[in-house]
């Protein structure tokens, strides 16, 4: 019998970023989403899970989400996957975030660049790429339709939204991204954000004070 597909959350770094390990039960292939810090802890989780990691997927290029890219790429030979519009950002780091205590380790460039509407496979798990600019220009959400899961990075949180005061941010764009591209998904879609607790599209549509339906 096949093992189950799984998602494991590892909370990393001083800003408590949710790094996710997503694994396909059938093929044993896996990806690490947003390894922002604590590479050793993430590597241990990968080994514990007994999976074959192939990719790092970054929801966006801020250092709190990419600073363990280099170490994990070296250790496991992973390909880095991100939207091309955040390529410069992820390789350059951000002084603002280093002031906030974030360890800023520039990422290698992406090996694979994503576009809105792309499909990305982790084993038999199909992730749809939703480009959601606003927090950064190249921010993406990853939608696992069959699993009813949406990885939202710093675009949408439980009861909150991402900051738009960093370079490349835009409140108008962020609102449009959330309203048109995320709130149109089924209400029972589980939101797995880049910081904080899980939510659902339905509860954000009815209760998020920042972006109303
Ligand atoms: Zn961010
Ligand atoms: Zn963040």
Per-residue pLDDT of the chain (213 residues; tens, 9 = 90+): 568 999 999 999 999 999 999 999 999 999 999 999 999 999 999 999 999 999 999 999 999 999 999 999 999 999 999 999 999 999 997 666 777 778 889 999 999 999 999 999 999 999 999 999 999 999 999 999 999 999 999 999 999 999 999 889 999 999 999 999 999 999 999 999 999 999 999 999 999 999 987
Query: Alpha-carbon distance 133 to 116, whole Å?
Result: 11
Report which of 178, 174, 158 is spatially closest to residue 166, judged by C-alpha positions.
174
Q: Is residue 15 part of a domain?
A: yes
Which ligand approaches the C-alpha of residue 16 most closely?
2
What is the 207 CA–ligand 2 centroid distance (Å)?
22
Give the span between the Cα atoms of 63 and 35, in whole angstroms.
10
Q: How far is the CA of 65 from the centre of ligand 2 (A)?
A: 6
Other beta carbons within 10 Å of 116: 13
Query: pTM of whole model > 0.75?
Result: yes
Dihedral (Cα; 187, 124, 26, 150), 10-degree rounding: -30
Q: Would residue 143 count as lying in a domain?
A: yes
Asked if residue 1 belongs to a domain, the reply is no
Considering the domain boundaries, does residue 71 fall inside one? yes
Minimum-distance ligand to the CA of 96?
A: 1
Closest ligand (CA of 34) = 2
Q: Is residue 203 part of a domain?
A: yes
Report residues near ion ligand 1: CB below 5 Å.
62, 154
The structural domain count of the chain equals 1
Residue 213 lies in a domain: no
In whole angstroms, give the CA distance from residue 192 to residue 142: 10
CA distance readout (Å), 148 to 3, 30, 167, 212: 19, 18, 32, 22
Report the first-to-last Cα separation within the chain, whole angstroms: 43
**15 CA to centre of ligand 1 in angstroms:** 10
- Token code pair at residue 57: 């997927």
**Position 48 in a domain:** yes
CATH number at residue 179: 3.60.15.10
Is 122 inside any structural domain?
Answer: yes
Instruction: Calculate how far, in angstroms, residue 14's C-alpha sits from the geometric centre of ligand 2.
Output: 10
Residue 49 belongs to domain spanning: 6-207
């Amino acid at each position: 019998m096949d093992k189950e597909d799984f998602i494991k959350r590892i909370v990393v770094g001083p800003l408590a970023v949710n790094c996710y390990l997503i694994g396909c039960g059938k093929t044993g292939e896996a990806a690490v989403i947003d390894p922002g810090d604590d590479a050793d802890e993430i590597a241990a989780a990968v080994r514990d899970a007994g999976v074959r990691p192939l990719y790092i997927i970054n929801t966006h290029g801020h250092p709190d989400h990419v600073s363990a890219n280099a170490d994990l790429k070296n250790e496991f030979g992973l390909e880095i996957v991100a939207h091309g519009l955040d390529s410069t950002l992820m390789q350059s780091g951000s002084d603002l975030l280093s002031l906030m205590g974030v360890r800023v380790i520039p990422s290698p460039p992406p090996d694979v660049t994503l576009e809105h509407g792309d499909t990305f496979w982790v084993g038999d798990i199909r992730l749809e790429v939703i480009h959601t600019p606003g927090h950064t220009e190249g921010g993406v959400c990853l939608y696992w339709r069959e699993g009813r899961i949406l990885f939202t990075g710093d675009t949408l949180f439980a009861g909150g939204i991402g900051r738009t005061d960093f370079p490349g941010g835009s409140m108008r764009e962020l609102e449009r991204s959330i309203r048109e591209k995320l709130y149109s998904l089924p209400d029972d879609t589980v939101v797995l954000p880049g910081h904080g607790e899980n939510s659902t599209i339905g509860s954000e549509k009815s209760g998020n004070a920042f972006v109303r339906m």
